[in-house]
Amino acid sequence: MKNILSIVIATLIIIIATNNTINAQGCVAIKGSGATCMLAHPQSTNKAGWQFSTSERYYKSFRHFSGTEENKDRLIQGTEVINHTFITDLALTRIFNDRWSMTVDAPVISNARSSLYEHGLVNGAYIKKERHSTHSFGLGDVRVAVYRWLLDPAKYVKGNIQLGLGIKLPTGDYNYQDYWYNVGPNGTKELRTVDQSIQLGDGGTGLTVEANTFYNFTHNFSVYGNFYYLANPREQNGVRTYRETLSPALANEAIMSVPDQYMARGGFNYMFNHIKGLSVAAGARIEGIPVHDLIGGSGDFRRPGYIWSIEPSVNYGFKNVNFFASVPVAIVRNRLQSVTDKENSAKSGKFVRGDAAFADYSINVGAAFKF
């Protein structure tokens, strides 16, 4: 085996919490389906067998942006929305031969969301201004994908391209509920749907397309590239957001959208000569939710946006075990204007765009086992 290029693909990141020019709101960027995908050199997967990988991801979103400009007043005033997310990603891969493989990926997600506006804001006015938390825990959306190396690994040792095609199933609860405080009669609490950003699933059956590639310049220096896109044809999942209770101007955001998701990353990988099995990588990645889906409508309530990150990572493998870690650090965060933002802009005659609280970084660690 001349080289192993192991990369950690985190399909997708960041929980955002958002506010628009009328009222505060919460936001999602990317769910944790398929949080890790090991891309190995074909020579390391030329025998039929099984691979099991597990990874942990954590991030905290709290820093608000509208467009690319940070709204620092949210932190000063203490009105920021804070999401803590832990994702345990479990993936089982069947390697059929040196070109074909199949993966079943299942994320288990734990979320905690702390906010002011969900617990007392009614028609734009606070009944009580108190910070409370909502939570969600359980299985996310399961993904099944088939992969194929396009070039014969025996002939094309220096570089190759792997394509993947899969289906994302709506196995995660997309109507998870917890208590909102100070919203019922006489300021009581009510059991309501939690914010879209901490729902376990999106309620859609989607198609996933992936491309993974590498090229070896020398025996220990390589470049890599990855691309992932989730197309969700379903426009909305029928779940109420309760946003219309915050302001009549948000009536067109009363139902949750089922958005597409995407990720792309690339960089270089260096394998050490004097420490067998140890490699480091560095690159850039972009991930987010588009304003418009490839298939189907894009209305109702979604929070589009993207993050550019610098991503250092380290990988160590021996025998049939591989350990990996990466810490993507955000350098550009952009909350885009959604379809419903544009509708509100047209109605009011003023430019409307939500602001979104992105994470500064995420922490990803995991291991893969071949047997």
CATH H-level, domain 15-47+56-370: superfamily: Autotransporter beta-domain (2.40.128.130)
Burial class (CB in 10 A: 0-12, 13-18, 19+), 50: exposed
Q: Is 0.85 surpassed by the pTM of this model?
A: yes
The whole-number pLDDT of residue 27 equals: 39
**Predicted pLDDT of residue 355:** 87
Burial of 191 (0-12, 13-18, 19+ CB in 10 A): exposed
- Fill in the DSSP letter of residue 337: P
CA-based nearest residue to 115, from 287, 357, 365, 364: 357
- Find out whether 19 and 228 touch, Cβ atoms under 8 Å: no
For tokens 């040196």, what's the residue?
Answer: 98
Q: What is the DSSP string of 247-284?
A: -GGGGGGSEEE---EEEEEEEEEEE-SSSTTEEEEEEE
Q: What is the pLDDT of residue 104?
A: 97
Query: Where along the chain do its domains lie?
Result: 15-47+56-370
Asked if residue 243 lies in contact with residue 301, where contact means CB atoms within 8 angstroms, the answer is yes
SS3 content of the chain, % helix, strand, coil (to 5): 10, 55, 40
Q: How far apart are CA 149 and CA 163, in angstroms?
A: 7
Cα radius of gyration (the chain)? 21
Tell the burial category of 309 from Cβ atoms under 10 Å away from its Cβ (0-12, 13-18, 19+): buried
Q: Residue 149: name the closest of 217, 210, 93, 91 by CA.
A: 210
pLDDT for residue 61: 96
Give the phi and the psi of residue 200 in degrees, each rounded to 5. Answer: -80, -25
Q: Which of 149, 150, 254, 140 is nearest to 206 (CA)?
A: 140
Full DSSP string of 284-302: EEEEEE-SS-SSS---SB-
Q: Cα–Cα distance between 156 and 176 in angstroms, integer? A: 48
pLDDT tens, position by position, for the chain (371 residues)?
333 333 322 222 222 222 332 232 223 344 543 333 334 444 455 678 999 999 999 999 999 999 999 999 999 999 999 999 999 999 999 999 999 999 999 999 999 999 999 999 888 888 889 999 999 999 999 999 999 999 999 899 999 999 999 999 999 999 999 999 999 888 899 999 999 999 999 999 999 999 999 999 999 999 999 999 999 999 999 999 999 988 888 899 999 999 999 999 999 999 998 898 999 999 999 999 999 999 999 999 999 999 999 999 999 998 899 999 999 999 999 999 999 999 999 999 999 998 888 999 999 999 999 99
Question: Which residues, 6+ apart, have CB-to-CB distance to 311 below 8 Å?
Answer: 265, 267, 281, 282, 283, 284, 285, 326, 327, 328, 329
Contact yes or no for 206/226 (Cβ under 8 A): no
